[in-house]
Structure 1
Amino acid sequence: MKSILASCSVSISELKKNPSLLIEQSGGEPIAILNHNRPTAYLIPAETYEALLEKIEDYQLGVIVNERQHEKFSAVEVTLDEL
């Protein structure tokens, strides 16, 4: 059995009735969409999705920084005037 990773869940038929109301009632939290009592999708408001993408991007940039840490020893220091 799959875990439901949301505090709220609805069936697909409930979702079809009034999706806007469900999003409003969720308070920005994810809603598990169930099909035959199994989670098939998660519905999240656009703001929550955008924040999630920003966090993923920040994480990916952090990974790049960590990977390139060793390169700073071979860097050449310049002043703005030299550019």
Structure 2
Amino acid sequence: MIFEQLTVHLSVSSYFTLQTMKPKILIINEPLWILIMQTIRPILAENSTNISEFKKNPMAAVAQADGFPVAVLNRNQPVFYCVPAAAYELLMGKLEDLELAQLVEARKNQTEIDVDINDL
């Protein structure tokens, strides 16, 4: 009964995979997605391609994404993300900013020490 409701959102191959899958954890009173998390992973990119197409011409996949990441799928599951250099550099810059903000937050209540540049 539960699997019949899922067919609206899932492909036929996923439907049969879910029917034969035995979940490791059964949580009562929780959403259905907890039961199927082991087989369905979110795609964290707006653009995706299958691995066969990506192997044929990886630069075409990157070009079609207009500078945004591309999720590369194998059997409709993401196996890796192809992130253009500019997007990766931006991501690393934002991560560095977050780390520095955490450092500033951790040190904001420390006592100040007077330092003379000539003493160094």
**TM-score bracket for this pair, using the shorter chain length:** 0.7 to 0.9
Which residue is equivalent to 1:14? 53
Q: Give the greater-gyration-radius structure (CA).
A: 2
Which residue is equivalent to 1:36? 75
Matched, 1:4 2:47: no
Q: Can you give the 5+ residue segments of structure 1 that lack an aligned partner in the other structure?
A: none
Tell me, in whole angstroms, the C-alpha distance in 1 between the residues paired with 2:65 and 2:93. 21
Where does structure 1 differ by over 4 angstroms across 4 or more consecutive aligned residues?
Answer: 78-83
AA aligned opposite 2:56: K
Paired residues for 1:3-82 under 5 Å: 3-71=42-110, 74-78=111-115
Provide the aligned length of Structure 1 versus Structure 2: 81
What's the CA shift for 1:79?
A: 6.1
Q: Which has the higher contact order (CA 8 A, sep 6+)?
A: 1
Tell me, in whole angstroms, the C-alpha distance in 1 between the residues paired with 2:45 and 2:113. 50
What's the CA shift for 1:76?
A: 2.9
AA aligned opposite 2:113: V
What's the CA shift for 1:3?
A: 1.0
Q: Can you give the 5+ residue segments of structure 2 that lack an aligned partner in the other structure?
A: 1-39
Question: RMSD of the alignment, in Å?
Answer: 1.5
- % identity of equivalent residues: 41
Tell me, in whole angstroms, the C-alpha distance in 2 between the residues paired with 1:82 and 1:27. 53
Tell me, in whole angstroms, the C-alpha distance in 2 between the residues paired with 1:17 and 1:37. 18
Normalising by structure 1, we get a TM-score of 0.86
Could you list the per-position Cα deviations for residues 13-48 of structure 1 after superposition, in whole angstroms to 9, with x for gaps in the alignment?
100111111111111111110011101111110110
